[in-house]
Structure 1
Amino acid sequence: DEHVETQYGDVHCVMTGTLKPNRPVILTVPDIGLNHKSCYESLFNHEDMQEIARCLPVCHVEAPGQHEGAKTLPAVYTYPSMEQLAEVLPDVLKHFGFHSVVGIGVGAGAYILARFA
């Protein structure tokens, strides 16, 4: 688990697997109010996904305050818009040194990834 500093606050990232040269990383962004476990656990635990997960690392990106055990955000905190959340993704890629990703998003997460693309 890592917190990546961005201009819109820290985003929580969970990495699984090992980065491999010339291979993309699966980048997930869950829907509003969900985190990587509540949104993607059944997908990544499914037997058909096991081969893909063995071959590609996964980076789960969670919006501020959405990860398990997150503290309540301060009342003065201005929550980033979906467009601003899309703008934090290049910071995540730079932080981890990712060169290419395959995005998987659900609901607002899909919109954030589409804006990023």
Structure 2
Amino acid sequence: MSEPEVFGRIRDEIAKGDVMLFMKGTPVFPQCGFSAAVVDVLSQLGVRFHSVNILTDQELRQGIKEFSQWPTIPQLYVKGEFVGGCDIVREMFETGELEQLLKEKGVALASAA
């Protein structure tokens, strides 16, 4: 069985940067509280990231859930690896695990400058 065509588009998006956030809305104007919370965490760490507004593309909105086998948005990827959704990202941030992961993966943090 071949994979959905949208998976190729998702891989292309993930490859665009070290940190990719699939979210509802944009970093400047998040359209859900969970997406806003992840943007806030990344901003606090000073992480430069790319984002995709899944609200503008229904195929992508459904496809990302199937691709990651994760039912909710937002979804954070670091160096091509799925990290998790809002709760996981927030918890990792609070424990310092997210900052550690980013450093291990070689992602520059403004707070480390």
Q: Could you state the TM-score of these two structures normalised by the residue count of structure 1?
A: 0.30
Higher relative contact order (CA 8 A, sep 6+): 1
Q: More strand per residue: 1 or 2?
A: 1
Q: More helix per residue: 1 or 2?
A: 2
Q: Could you state the TM-score of these two structures normalised by the residue count of structure 2?
A: 0.31
